[in-house]
Every structure is written in structure tokens, then in C-alpha cells.
Amino acid sequence: MHPLHIVRYTFISLLLILPSTLAWRPWPNTTTTTTTTNDPLRESKRYEGSSDLVHLRYHMGPVLTPNITLHTIWYGLWPAPHKRIIRAFLGSLSPTSNPPHHPSVSAWWRTVRLYTDQTGSNVSRTVSLGGEKNDRFYSHGRSLTRLSIQSVIRSAITAKTRPLPINPEGGVYLVLTSADVLVQDFCQVCGFHYFTFPSIAGYTLPYAWVGNSATQCPGVCAYPFAVPDYIPGLKPYAPPNGDMGVDGMVSVIGHEIAELASNPLVNAWYAGEDPSFPTEIADLCEGIYGTGGGGSYTGQLLDGGGGVKYNLNGVGGRRFLVQWIWNPVLGYCSGPNALDQ
Ligand SMILES: *[C@@H]1O[C@H](CO)[C@@H](O)[C@H](O)[C@H]1NC(C)=O
Ligand SMILES: *[C@@H]1O[C@H](CO)[C@@H](O)[C@H](O)[C@H]1NC(C)=O
Ligand SMILES: *[C@@H]1O[C@H](CO)[C@@H](O)[C@H](O)[C@H]1NC(C)=O
């Protein structure tokens, strides 16, 4: 049996306590005067460099080493230009014959590729766009729970017309909700990933949810294109694709796909002892987009003019701002726009 078919019995007990990482919140860019000096994370020149404090471990479960195929479910109202931004990002993850300028999205994915499974195979180099399904009539309502998101996936893979394909070998599902959809724990989390239960969807399929936070909590989930009220005077950056909510989603989508790839059944790569509250490879680097990042400071970014800041180039001349990923070789967060590369 393919490992993705195996559901460990213990996971059933996780049903009620699905892993949830609290959304990272930017904190004011204060200097050492107000921060506790005994906090080594804050003292470190490279806040992300405190490898001694990060016990990221491999827990022997499967990793997405086969070619990854992303099947997208657009839940709610999704204007075509918004879809195009997200598709361009997803389509930039794999290397292409006409590669974008450095630093690129596919170079960002190389950090995720550093994670391996028991056989020493790396996370897949190839991440391709699979099927898409529009759920524009809100099949499960405008307020979703963590569990009803699995029913949204079930509807998409069992639809009478053009159901989404089921390929447990590297197939993953992205449920993207429009700004008017409420989701359980949204704003405490900006996205999450898990796997479907056979009792609901018929299969064990890794999936992620990410919501458009434009009207719900942009200062948290679309930071730094929106800033929270509690940091007065901080100016938001202009989004590189002109849409605060969707440009903000792109980084969260990158975060969730990186974690899906390295921890698809929540028993592979994570830090911490409690598998129901794992700290995963992107959680460790939230809010860090460039060299020196930490606190409310994003780190060194590229300047796109007109207030636009970004750190990655994608296909078709698109630009994106995506958080860094924990690099297990270096022992700190890294990305292709690092100044020391
Ligand atoms: C995986 O993707 C690569 C590049 O797109 C392709 O050459 C290869 O045949 C694929 N492998 C499988 C098993 O589909
Ligand atoms: C695979 O992962 C190992 C361990 O992190 C790393 O040394 C190697 O460079 C990776 N290979 C690729 C092709 O990324
Ligand atoms: C935050 O602090 C860093 C390092 O001291 C500085 O370079 C950066 O400009 C500051 N950012 C903001 C938004 O104040």
C-alpha cells in the first residue's frame, strides 16, 4: 500500500484537536530597550539563526517525494484576475525552460527540497497545477468548520461533472476561500494543512486551506500589505500584484505547501513534542522575508517602485513576497534573496 493510504489509528484521536499554529503577529520594531535581554531569540543578530533552540526532527512519516500535483478548489466568488495571481505563483514553483530572474520562486522551493524521507529521497522538484473546481455557490455555506472543509473536498472529487482527480501519489488539494467566507479559527490562523479522513472523503488526501483575509484580518494575514492597528505609524507595503488580500494569501499558500510537502500526514518533519501542535518548517520563519528579518521588520526586500516590495520573481514577469523557510542544512531560515548568497 502506498503510505498515504495508511491512516494510523492515533490520528482519529486528533480529529477534535487538529493541529493549529497560532497566526504569527508582527510586533512593534522596538530596539533592545523594551525587549527582554534574556531572550536569546531576540538578541541574536540573525534571529532566525538560533539553531540550538530549534529541535526540528524527522518523525519517520512520508514526505511528498513523488511529483506534486496541486488541485485547486475556488470556494466562493473568485474574480479571474485574482485566480491568475495565485495560478502564476503555483506555476512558478517548478523550474521552467525560460526561468525568471533571480531570486525566483523555484529557487525558494529549493529550501523545501532539502527535506528527505526515510529512503533519503528529497521533496519533489516538480510541483504542477492539477485540476481546478469552482465552488461558486458555496456548497457548504458561507461559514466553514475545519471538518466541513473536508466535505468541500469530497464534493469536488465526487462531482458529477469534471470531478477533481484523485492521485494519492503526490496529489494535494488547496481549498481557497473568498473574502466573504468565514472559517473556523480564521485570523487565529491564516491557513492550515491536514489530510482528509477516509470516513469523510473516502481517502487520506493531504490538503491545505487558505482564506482571503482582505476584510476579516488583513493586518494579521495580509501583513505587510496591511498593518495591525496596534502598530501605529507603520506603513503597509504596496502589493506586487495590486491586490492586498490575494498578494497576502500567496505567502500563506507558500507556507502551507512547504509544510504539506515536508509533513503531509503530520508525522514527518516538525519541531516540538506534541504532534497535535507541531511547529513546522514554515512556522519557524513566519514574518521573515529577507536578510535581517524579525519582529515587524520583514528583512531586506527588493524594491518594485511605487511602494511595492517583493522578494521573488515568478513566471510571466510576476513578483511575489513570500516568507522564508527553515533550512535544515544551514540551521536557520533562508531564501534565494538572502544577501549572503
Ligand atoms: C515528474 O515530473 C518530471 C518533470 O516534469 C517528468 O519528467 C517526470 O516524468 C515525472 N515523473 C513521473 C513519475 O510522473
Ligand atoms: C536532498 O536533501 C539533502 C539533505 O538536506 C541535501 O543535502 C541535498 O542537497 C538535497 N538534494 C536536492 C536535489 O535538493
Ligand atoms: C526595523 O529595524 C531594522 C533593524 O534595526 C531596520 O533596518 C528597519 O528599517 C526597521 N523597520 C521598520 C519598519 O521600522
CA dihedral sign, ordered 20, 23, 24, 28: negative
Residue 282 has pLDDT above 80, yes or no: yes
CB–CB of 275/269 below 8 Å? no
Residue type, 43: E
User: What pLDDT sits at residue 278?
Assistant: 86
Q: What digits encode the pLDDT tens for the residues 7-46?
A: 333 333 333 344 444 566 666 544 433 333 333 333 333 3
Query: Residue 48: is its pLDDT beyond 70?
Result: no
| Residue at 37: amino acid letter | T
Say what the pLDDT of residue 52 is. 52
Average pLDDT (279-299) is 92
Q: Is the CB of 29 under 6 A from ligand 3?
A: yes
CA distance 174 to 208: 5
Q: What is the pLDDT of residues 139-168, one digit of tens each?
A: 999 999 999 999 999 999 999 999 999 988
Query: Looking at residues 288-300, what average pLDDT do you find?
Result: 92
Measured distance CA(87)–CA(165) in Å, rounded: 18
pLDDT of residue 233: 85
The pLDDT of residue 229: 85
Q: What angle do CA 183, 185, 188 make, to 5 degrees?
A: 130
- 3-state SS class at 324: coil
pLDDT in tens, 116-141: 999 999 999 999 999 999 999 999 99
**Protein residue closest via CA to atom 7 of ligand 2:** 114
Say yes or no: CB of residue 138 within 6 Å of ligand 3: no
**Predicted pLDDT at 276:** 77
pLDDT value of residue 14:
38
Locate the ligand 3 atom nearest the alpha carbon of residue 295 and give its number: 1
Predicted local distance difference test score (pLDDT) of residue 22? 55
What is the spatial distance between Cα 185 and Cα 111, in angstroms, rounded to a whole number? 29
CB 267 within 8 A of CB 276: no
Q: Indicate the average pLDDT of the chain.
A: 87
78 alpha carbon to ligand 3 midpoint, in Å? 35
* Rounded CA Rg of the chain: 19
Contact 298, 309 (CB under 8 A): yes
Whole-number pLDDT of residue 5? 37
What is the tens place of the pLDDT at every residue in 229-265? 888 888 999 999 999 999 999 999 999 999 999 999 9
pLDDT at residue 155, as a whole number: 97
Q: What local confidence, expressed as pLDDT, does residue 28 receive?
A: 53
Amino acid letter, 156: A
Q: Residues 270, 263: contact at Cβ < 8 Å?
A: yes
Q: Which atom of ligand 3 is nearest to the CA of 31?
A: 5
122 within ligand 2 shell (Cβ under 6 A): yes
Nearest-ligand number for the alpha carbon of 110:
2
Query: Residue 170 CA: which ligand is closest?
Result: 1
Apex 44 CA angle, 42 and 50, nearest 5: 100
For residues 338 and 266, give the distance between their C-alpha atoms in angstroms, rounded to a whole number: 29
CA distances from 340 to 55, 194, 291, 296, 335 (A): 24, 35, 8, 21, 10
